[in-house]
Amino acid sequence: MTSGKTWLMWDEAVTGYDFGPSHPMDPIRLALTMRLVETLSLDRESAVHAAPAAAESTLRLVHHPDYIDAVRRSSVESAPPEEPYGIGTTDTPAFPGMHEVSSLIVGQSVAAAEAVWRGEAPHAVNFTGGLHHAMPGAAAGFCVYNDAAIAIARLLENGAERVAYVDVDVHHGDGVQTAFWDDPRVLTISVHEHPRALFPGTGWPEETGPPHAAGSAVNVAVPPGTSDAGWLRAIHAVVPELLEAFRPQFLVTQHGADTHVEDPLAHLTLSVDAQRAAMEACHGWAHSYADGRWLALGGGGYAVVDVVPRSWAHLVAVASHAPVDPRRAVPEEWRRTVHALTRQDAPRSMSDGGTGEFRSWEGGYDPADEVDRTIMATRKAVFPTHGLLA
C-alpha cells in the first residue's frame, strides 16, 4: 500500500466548462464543492494538485481525430453547430473554449490515474470528471470528452492488465461501456435508473459484452423511485462478487450525485447518506480487490446547492481517509458563500438523516420485490460468464 496523501485534482479553470445560464450543468456546483472542501479543511487532509490539459495524443486513446477536430472548431465564438458530432444540441451546446476546458478536465483524471498507478498516491479524486456519456466520435449528455475512459485507456497503455470501472450515476455509463465493449481487460459495471425511464435508454441487463469479452459489461437497472436501502442492496448484491472474480489491478469509480431525491433530472429517491455509503463501499473494495489503487470521479448532479457539494465533499473525505461525520453541521462560512454566490439557502447538515442500512442479498431473494428482480436479471445475465452462481 502506497503511503502519502490522496491526490485531489483541482484547477479553478475547470469552472469554464459552462454550457450557458439555462443549462442544468451549472459550473457553480464545482466551485461550491471546492469551497466546501476547503471550509471543512479537507484540502489539508489531501494533496491538492493541478495537471495540464490532455494533449491530442491522449484524447486519441478514446476519441476519433475528426471528432476532436469538430470540438476544436466548436470552441470559437459563434461557431456553427456540429450536429453529426453531437455538438450544438440542446444537451451539449457549443461554447467558447470548449476544447480547452474539456481537455483540462481529462488532464486531471489522467494525471490522477497515473499518480496512483506509479505509487505516488494511495487514491485520487477528480470530482470535476466522470463525463461518462461522451462517445469516441460524438458528444452526448453534457459530456464532450470522456475523461473516465481516457484515464482507463492510459492505465492500459502503462501496463495495467485488468481495470474495473464502477459507475453509480443515475444514468447509464454508456460512453465508458462503449469504449471498452470488446476489451476483456476492462470490467464496466453501471448501476443506474432503468433505461425505460431515463436517458440514454441503454444499460439493460442483457448488455454483457461480445462473445470474446463476455461478462465485461455489467448493468444493474433499478426501477424509478428506488430509495436508499434498495439501491445499496443492488450495488452490494452485484459489485463485490464480480470484483473478487475479476481481480482488478485498479478501480475507477464514478459518483454522479443525480441519484438524489432532489435531483431535477431523474427519479430515484436517495439521500446523500446512501451516496456516502456507496463511496465507503468503493473505498473498501479498492483495498480488498485492487491493492488500494482507486480513482474516484464525479459525474452528474443538478441539485447544485443542496446536494452536489455535500456529496462530493464526502467523496473527498472518504478517499482522504478523513471521513466527515454525517451529523456534522455544514460550516456557516460555507453557507454564507453559497448565499453570496447564488442567493439560495444552503443545507445545514452533512446528512439527510439516512442510515445507510440495507438488507443483504445473502438474506434471500424476494421475487415480489422489483429491485430484487432487477438484481436477479443482472446476476443471471453476467455471473455465469465469471464462473459465479446467479
Catalytic amino acids? Answer: 133
Q: For residue 48, what are the β-bridge partners?
A: 8
Q: What share of the chain is helix, strand, coil (3-state, %, to 5)?
A: 40, 15, 45
Which of 48, 59, 203 is closest to 112 using CA atoms? 48
Give the number of other CB atoms < 10 A from CB of residue 76. Answer: 12
Instruction: Compute φ and ψ for 289, nearest 5 degrees.
Output: -120, -15
What SS3 class is residue 294? Answer: strand
Instruction: Compute φ and ψ for 28, nearest 5 degrees.
Output: -60, -25
Instruction: Look up cell 465469471; give the residue.
Output: 386
What is the per-residue DSSP string for 313-329? HHHHHHHTT-PPPTTSB
CA 348 → CA 106, 217, 247, 273, 353, distances in Å?
33, 39, 41, 14, 12
